[in-house]
Amino acid sequence: MIARLRISNYALIREISLDFHPHFNIITGETGAGKSIILGALGLLQGKRSDSRSPGDKTRKSVVEATFNLDETSAAALSRIFENENLPFDGTECVIRREIAPSGRSRATVNGTPATLQALRDISAVLIDIHSQHKNLMLSDATFQLEVIDSLGDNRSLLDEYHAVYAQYRSALRTFADARDTIDATRNDADFMQYQLDKLDELNVLPGEDADLEKQREEIARALSDGRAIVEASTSLSSGDNSAVESVDKAIDALSRTDNTALSERLESVRIELADIADAIERQASGLRRDPASLDEIDDRLSEINAAMKRFKVDSTEGLIRIREGLTAKLAQLADADNVLAEYKAAAVKLKRRAVEIAAQLTARRTATAAELSEQLVRTAAPLGMSNLRAQIVITPGKLNADGADTVEWKLAFNKNQELSAAGTTASGGEISRVMLALKAIMAEKLHLPTIIFDEIDTGVSGEVAARMGMLMADASRRMQVIAITHLPQVAARGDAHMKVYKSDDETSTATHIAVLDRDGRRAELALMLSGDAADAAALATADSLLNK
């Protein structure tokens, strides 16, 4: 249950701190006084979204903090969550805190340790249930109706098992369908794919072959170029009538006819050196690779590879190899297609059979729970001025779906001469409020909810019915903590503790406050709710009568 709630700098609330009674707590106040602000603050502790509008004073952060005292049931339910979230837990107390910075950034802690918003949602779902006015509309929602049945029937573990098997079944169906579609497409394109594979087999490209060929081509081209230069140099030195060696020989012969022996000897030395260089160039030229035919072969191979890459829209030989392997695999799969499809189909059928078995168990349990809930609903709502209420909850099995194979329909009739019809289609707002209150009382007792908050669930009722609703909430509070926001004095008088929300103004701002009322304060508040005048003698007398009950 909620032991203490502290709210600081949230919307119109500057600072409040409340200690709640373990049983029946009443919150009253004029419309617009700020009761919804308190619920909004509690919503933050449930992991709901926040924004920069939360802080009233934009220079400070908002803080909402609640301390929950735990009983054995809630402690056992929470232990797994705390363990999974790696949060400290002593089994007796849980402190949830939420801080909202002026920028809108949020920070949450549980027992002083940072926690995710999902952790807050999981923890608060065990600790508190807030039923606001708009939730009355959920009575006609099929999803809500089925969730109620499953909660009261304790179907969570069976539902988890079904969800797992159903997900596997759907996955197996997709696998089968995808394989069938792929095989059908492969069969249609088999001839073309075989043609492509034959071409790639004929090409028989190797990984990185194009890069290797480009390197070889460059080496051969460079060798050919070097060879041409060396031949040209060799020709200039030693071949032909105008070669360098021939010219030096002529010069030596000419000088030999003179007395210039020194120059003749020097030219002889030059001739010997030139002849030696010419021989060296000739030897180097003879060792060069001069095979233009091999360059043509490389160019032809590169052209074939590049054409294949363009045709198959890849940019490497590795891409061609992957396509070749893919075509080989698809054609091989086609050869064994019937066996593959049979295996996939058998797996899906097996999972469907198991899903149908679990769904049948769910149907049986839901049917039994629905019959019991129909009786409980009539019995619980009867004291609320609904002695003619009839309820029938019908579970109809059909095709498998995400939550089993069932559709649920809640049918209600509020008068003797009225036919059963879908919940919410013919009921008044007050009737729906009373049915929801009865339903919440049943669920709270069955599910051992520690705390339930009713936000004006009594809207649309008055007089004796209002008194009976107050009695029902008071009775429920013997087994759990109940917090009721109400405008009805018949309900407010039943509380063990009574708090009033009100506004005050100063020169620059408006603020929301909450005060815990003593008996005199309660008398005045009830008189105000009865007559609009807190000092009215008749209203005060009625207030005393209500409180004395």
Confidence (pLDDT) at 374: 94
Q: How far is CA 111 from the centre of its chain?
A: 26
134, 36 in Cβ contact below 8 A?
no
* Structure-block tokens of residue 197: 């594979």
Indicate whether 230 belongs to any domain. yes
CB 462 within 8 A of CB 489: no
Together in a domain, 18 and 124: yes
- Same domain as 119, residue 226: no
Q: Give the integer Cα–Cα distance in Å for 139 and 372.
A: 17
CB-CB contact of 236 with 244 (8 Å):
yes
> Where does a domain end: 315, 339, 355?
315
CA distance to 50, 197, 305, 378, 393, per residue, from 371 (Å) = 42, 66, 76, 11, 7
- Do residues 222 and 127 share a domain? no
Other CB atoms within a 10 A radius of the CB of residue 112 amount to 10
CB 537 within 8 Å of CB 38: no
Question: Does the predicted TM-score (pTM) go above 0.85?
Answer: no
Distance separating alpha carbons of residues 224 and 227, to the nearest angstrom? 5
445 assigned to some structural domain = no
Note whether 105 and 222 are same-domain residues.
no
pLDDT of residue 287: 61
The answer to whether 443 and 148 are in contact (CB under 8 A) is yes
Could you tell me the CA-to-CA distances from 233 to 132, 250, 251 in Å, in that order? Answer: 103, 20, 21
**Domains in the chain, number:** 2
Q: pLDDT per position in the chain (549 positions), as tens?
A: 999 999 999 988 999 999 999 999 999 998 888 888 888 899 999 998 876 667 888 888 999 999 999 988 889 889 999 999 999 999 899 999 999 998 888 999 999 999 999 999 999 988 988 886 656 667 778 888 898 899 899 898 999 999 999 999 999 999 999 988 888 777 777 778 778 888 888 888 888 888 888 887 777 777 777 667 766 776 777 665 677 777 777 777 777 777 777 887 787 787 787 777 777 777 766 665 556 667 788 888 888 888 988 988 888 889 899 989 988 887 777 777 788 888 999 999 999 999 999 999 999 999 999 999 999 999 988 888 888 899 999 999 999 999 999 999 999 998 888 888 887 676 677 788 888 888 888 887 777 778 888 888 777 777 888 888 888 889 888 888 999 999 899 999 999 999 999 999 888 888 999 999 999 999 999 999 999 888 889 999 999 999 988
Tokens 């929300």 belong to 501
Q: Are residues 7 and 105 in the same domain?
A: yes
215 and 121 fall within a common domain: no
Helix (H) or strand (E) holding 250: helix 244-255
Which of 315, 346, 376 finishes a domain? 315
Shared domain check, 213 and 128? no
Answer whether residue 18 is part of any domain.
yes
Cβ 393 vs Cβ 374: under 8 Å = yes
Q: How far is CA 245 from the centre of its chain?
A: 89
Question: Which run of H or of E encompasses 527?
Answer: helix 519-531
Residue 198, domain member (yes or no): no
Residue position matching structure tokens 């059979």: 353
Residue 468 is predicted with a pLDDT of 87
Contact 5, 66 (CB under 8 A): yes
* CA–CA–CA angle 530, 532, 537 (5° rounding): 70
Containing domain of residue 233, as a range?
A: 209-315
Query: What's the token pair of residue 369?
Result: 């729970």
Determine the Cα–Cα distance for residues 44 and 65; give it in Å rounded to an integer: 9
Asked if the structure places residue 308 within a domain, the reply is yes
- If asked whether residues 7 and 122 sit together in one domain, one would say yes
Is 299 a domain residue? yes
β pairing state of 451-455 and 24-29: unpaired
Residue 280 domain-assigned (yes or no):
yes
The tokens describing 326, both together, are: 């893919």
Domain CATH for 509: 3.40.50.300
Count the neighbouring beta carbons within 10 Å of the beta carbon of residue 262: 9
Q: Is residue 338 part of a domain?
A: no
Angstrom distance (rounded) from CA 288 to CA 210? 25
Tell me, what's the pLDDT at 491? Answer: 92
Long-range contact set of residues 76-84: C-beta below 8 Å, sequence gap at least 24: 77/126, 78/123, 78/126, 78/127, 81/119, 81/122, 81/123, 81/126, 82/110, 82/123
Whether residue 103 is found in the same domain as residue 216? no
